[in-house]
Amino acid sequence: MLEALSYLVMRHLPSSCQEESRWVYNTFRVLEHSKQLDDADEFSLTKFSRPLDTHYRWDTMRRAQDRSVSKAARVGDKHQAGEKEDSSSLIHQIGRDNSINCLLRCSRSDYGSLAAVNRSFRSLIKSGELYRLRRQMGIVEHWVYFSCNCVEWDAFDPIRSRWLHLPKMSTDECFAFSDKESLAVGTELLVFGREITSHIIYKYNLLTNTWTSGMEMNVPRCLFGSASLGEIGILAGGCDPRGKVLSSAELYNSDTGTWKMLPDMHKARKMCSGVFMDGKFYVIGGTGPGNMKSLTCGEVYDMETRTWREIPNMFPARNGGTGVTEAPSAAEAPPLLAVVNNELYAADHAAKEVRKYDKVRNSWSTLGSLPERAMSSNGWGIAFRGCGERIVVIGGPRASAGGTIELNSWVPSEGPPQWKLLARKPSGTFVYNCAMMGC
C-alpha cells in the first residue's frame, strides 16, 4: 500500500571515488572516439552531461537512436570491403567484455542515452544483461517510484536528482479508483489492483519502458504485505476476491516470471506491511479476520528452512498506547516501515516520530522526528522507505489551491534524524503508492 548526498550505490568497485570517476570518464572518451559515433553529432558528450533537473525522456532517446542508426549506416557504406566493424564488440577498440565492464560502472540514468548509440548498445540495454551482471557484482542503484495520480507514476534518481515520468497506464475506471498495492522486483514495477471482473496486475518493465498486463498470482489478493530482495518478491496475507482474510503467501521471481506458493503464516492478516531484513521476510501489523484493532505480532519467514516464526509484540506502539491502535482498521494505514543496513525503522504518523527496532530485545526506541511538512491522514498520503544507505520520506502539505510533494532523506549511520530535502514538485494530491527499485 502506501507506505552532502552520500553515494547510494553499493558496489565492489575501486576504493576511491576519483578512481571510479576515471572509469566513467574513460568509458565516455572511448565512446566519443568510437567509429560508431564518428558522424553522430546528436550523441556528443553534452547529451550525457545535461542539467540534473532535466526530465529524462525515452521517446526522445528512441528518435535520436533512429537518426544514429541512419548515420551509422551511411558511414558503414563508405568503409572498404573487409573493414566492417564487429558490432557485437560494442566499443570495438577494447572488445565486448571490456566494454561491458566499463558500462557496468555507469549510472543507469545514462542507460537511455547509451541505448541511443546504435543497435548493439540498445540490444544490450534491453536484454537486461547489464542489470544481471551488476547484481552479481553488488552494484545497486536505488530509485524511488511513486504515484500521486491513479494511473500515472514518476521515478526519481536520488544520485543525479533526475525525474523520470513513466508512460501512462491504460486501465479501466474500476482499476483507477480501486485499492492498489505496488512492489518493485528486479527491473519490474508491479501494480496490483482490481478491474470490473477480477483482480489484475500491471507490470512496468524498466528495460522497455512499457506497461503490460495479464500476469496472475496463484491466489488473487489485495491489501497484502510485500517486499522484494533482488529478483524475488514475497506477498503475504491480504484479502481474496470474496473478502476472506488470508494466511497464504507466495513468491514471485522476476527473472523467470513465475509465482510459487509458500507455506501459510500462523495468522491470517490484511492491511499489513512486509520487509526483508537479514535475508528473511517479515510481516508486521495488519488486522485479522473480524478484528477491528491492529495486530501487535509479527511473523518472519526463513527462506532456507521454509518456515514461519511468530514474534509476539513486534508492532511498535503508536498513539501512546501499548501497540494496539484504537483507530478502525479501515481508517488506519498499514505500518510505515523501512530497512537500512538490516536495521528496521518505523514512522509513527500520529506522534510524527521515527523509531528503531531492537532485534535482540524485541523493543522500539524513539530516535527523532519526521520531516516537518510530511503530512498524512491516519498514515495515508506519505511514503516511508529504505533507499540504499538512507531513509526517504515522501509527502508534503496540502492546500485548497494544490499542494507540494517533497522528498526528504536521512542517513541513519550519521546520527539522529536530520532530514535533507532532495527534491520537491507541485502536486494536487497525496502519495497513493510507492516502491523502491534497486538494480
- Please give the angle made by the CA atoms of 121, 122 and 128, to the nearest 5 degrees: 95
Q: What is the pLDDT of residues 267-280, one digit of tens each?
A: 999 999 999 999 99
**Pair 395, 405: CB distance under 8 Å:** yes
Placement of cell 496490483 in the chain: 192
Decide if pLDDT at 305 tops 70: yes
Q: Give me the domains of the chain, ranges plus CATH numbers.
A: 17-136 (no CATH), 140-438 (2.120.10.80)
**Pair 434, 3: CB distance under 8 Å:** yes
What's the chain's length in residues?
439
The answer to pTM > 0.75 is: yes
The stretch 413-424 carries a mean pLDDT of 96
Decide if pLDDT at 399 tops 70: no
What is residue 190's three-state secondary structure?
strand
Res 45: pLDDT:
32
Res 281: pLDDT:
98
Q: What is the pLDDT of residues 79-118, one digit of tens each?
A: 433 334 444 668 888 889 999 999 998 998 888 888 888 8
Asked which of 43-47, 172-176, 185-189, 196-200 is least confident by mean pLDDT, the reply is 43-47
Q: Give whichever of 65-69, 305-309, 330-334 has the largest mean pLDDT.
A: 305-309
**Pair 20, 12: CB distance under 8 Å:** no
Res 149: pLDDT:
86
Decide if pLDDT at 247 tops 70: yes
